[in-house]
Amino acid sequence: MDAGVIAVIRSPDPGLVPELGAALLAGGVSALEVTTSTPGFGDAIRATRAALGPSALIGAGTLLSVADCDAALEAGADFAVSPVFRPGLIPRCHDAGVPILLGAFTPTEAQAVHESGADFVKLFPAEALGIGFIRALRAPLPHLRLVPTGGVDASNAGEFRKAGCVAVGVGGSLVKAEWLRARNWAALTELAAAMVASWRR
């Protein structure tokens, strides 16, 4: 399974998540991050897992507290993501055998995330940093497993990979709000395929 592109899903209607997850998977995006801003995000994770089976990794994002983390793990999340540095979530996830991504913005924060035992460093918001920053960061710190989120789209996903990132998180530039409202799954599948193609190039 190529999980290089992680789709960040914020849906006002949790009932849409299995459908949009299927559309993303049809385009080759197999890692889906359901954020806590989705009402009943735990139920959305369960329903999407039931709909897609083992073909997709269903994770939970925007985890800001232990309570959020526990709810995600109880729902069966395959991975956990926080946009900020929350080291207290790490032992809970690792005890459950679930990898965790914690957020960072500066070199010091990124190294702190690494030293805390988190599996990946979520660079956020990446659009404020740019690909040049990532290249510069990895020169002295090549051990960091970076996952930039924010500002990633089908035109530059592959550039982040060439800069040394292990994956990218993609939200509104992939899972467009207007497509959710219109249930335009065909457009979502087409853009997902373009995103994956960019990453693989």
Report helix angle 17-26 to 185-200, nearest 10. 50
Q: What is the CA radius of gyration of the chain?
A: 16
Residue 162 annotated to the active site: no
CA 25 to centroid of chain Cα atoms: 14
Is the separation of the CB atoms in 82 and 122 below 8 Å? Answer: yes
122 is catalytic: yes
SS3 at position 9: strand
H-assigned helices in 123-184? 130-138, 157-162, 177-182
Exactly one of 122, 127, 162, 178 is catalytic; which is it? 122
Range of the domain at 52: 5-200
pLDDT at residue 2, rounded to an integer: 65
Looking at residue 58, which CATH number applies to its domain?
Answer: 3.20.20.70
Non-local CB neighbours of 41 within 8 Å, separated by 6+ positions: 14, 34, 35, 60, 71, 72, 75
What string of pLDDT tens digits covers the 201 residues of the chain? 568 999 999 999 999 999 999 999 999 999 999 999 999 999 999 999 999 999 999 999 999 999 999 999 999 999 999 999 999 999 999 999 999 999 999 999 999 999 999 999 999 999 999 999 999 999 999 999 999 999 999 999 999 999 999 999 999 999 999 999 999 999 999 999 999 999 998
Domain count, the chain: 1
Coil vs helix vs strand at 183:
coil
d(CA 128, CA 141): 20
Q: Mapping DSSP to helix (H, G, I), strand (E, B) and coil, where does residue 175 land? A: coil
